[in-house]
């Protein structure tokens, strides 16, 4: 089936705009879920390696990173496909359309994507309403993380209030919150990774989180000293963990023609080219954190061997996104089954 998807991807999907294909696939998942077809992808519990992390019981170590399901519309079908947790978002306090299109590009030679989506989402209130309705069904659900970011129109100096607003609305409905200060596609956002700017944001989110775990997501482009400083801040504040890493602004070592990359323009690069730096950041965090809080490793994850390596190097959980685009709907199921062997 993976080979069939690869053929479909190469012959059909690559002919169309990536964002349009995403919407088409999302529509298929919704229909498949309503018809009960996505449940055919499920594995037996005995075929999945379970994980206990920051007070939550995960059905497996492998989840879907933020960015695929921005508005929490695909949680059930994505869980059917084998993801132990779905991190929805990034969501902002104020609904926003994101950046101008085109804003999503494939680098098929590199098995990578460049995106400058700009946190397009329906807003924290809309997501809260959707999650309230979903929770009311009393269905068995995966772990639901909610990734929150700053609204574009909110000035940097008001970022604390913006994050606090989202946290207040969404913490009661999420299993955990992830604070995103590392996307390269919102002007000035990455400046919030400076510990002096980050500390009041994390304190505000923690205040609104109640007993829900809070994690912070960081960029791969940070200097090692800054990564250490954020890890130490996370531990001192009592955060549940660090998610490492987001997309990179680097274009080093790509196989795709340089003129094509320049034509695509600015944005965050994800996929296989991020793997090396993501592993380096994981190793650094593991030395600093030493098991005191969780590490969710993401970036360049595509194979079962990638997931196994991250777990071996100290990751509590592993996430992927770009690999899903290139590997197709059986991706998580395959990884779970092979990890259990």
**Catalytic site includes residue 183:** yes
Residues 84, 182, 183, 270: which is the catalytic one?
Answer: 183
- The region that residue 315 occupies, defined by phi over 0 for left and psi between -120 and 50 for alpha, beta otherwise, is beta
Taking residue 154's Cβ as centre, other Cβ atoms within 10 Å add up to 18
| Residues 248, 220 contacting (CB under 8 angstroms) | yes
Catalytic residues: 183
């Amino acid at each position: 089936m993976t080979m069939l998807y690869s053929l479909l991807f190469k012959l059909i999907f690559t002919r169309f705009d990536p964002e349009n294909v995403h919407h088409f696939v999302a529509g298929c998942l919704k229909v498949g879920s309503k018809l009960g077809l996505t449940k055919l992808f499920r594995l037996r519990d005995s075929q999945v390696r379970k994980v206990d992390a920051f007070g939550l019981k995960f059905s497996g170590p492998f989840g879907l990173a933020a960015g695929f399901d921005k508005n929490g519309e695909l949680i059930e079908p994505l869980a059917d496909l084998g993801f132990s947790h779905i991190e929805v978002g990034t969501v902002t306090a104020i609904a926003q359309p994101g950046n101008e299109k085109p804003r999503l590009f494939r680098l098929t030679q590199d098995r990578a994507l460049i995106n400058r989506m700009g946190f397009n989402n329906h807003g924290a209130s809309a997501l809260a309403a959707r999650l309230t309705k979903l929770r009311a069904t009393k269905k068995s659900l995966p772990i639901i993380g909610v990734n929150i970011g700053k609204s574009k129109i909110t000035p940097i100096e008001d970022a604390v209030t913006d994050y606090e607003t989202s946290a207040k609305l969404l913490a009661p409905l999420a299993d955990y919150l992830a604070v995103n200060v590392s996307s390269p596609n919102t002007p000035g956002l990455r400046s919030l990774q400076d510990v002096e700017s980050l500390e009041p944001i994390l304190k505000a989110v923690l205040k609104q989180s109640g007993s829900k775990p809070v994690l912070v997501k960081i960029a791969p482009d940070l200097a090692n000293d800054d990564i250490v400083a954020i890890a130490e801040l996370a531990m001192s504040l009592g955060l549940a963990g660090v998610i490492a890493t987001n997309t990179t602004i680097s274009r080093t070592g790509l196989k795709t023609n340089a003129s094509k990359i320049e034509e695509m323009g600015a944005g965050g690069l994800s996929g296989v080219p991020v793997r090396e730096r993501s592993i380096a950041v994981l190793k650094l965090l593991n030395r600093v954190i030493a098991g005191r809080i969780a590490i969710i490793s993401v970036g360049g994850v595509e194979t079962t061997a990638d997931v196994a390596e991250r777990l071996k190097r100290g990751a509590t959980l592993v996430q992927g996104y770009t690999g899903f685009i290139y590997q197709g709907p059986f991706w998580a199921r395959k990884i779970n089954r092979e990890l259990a062997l």
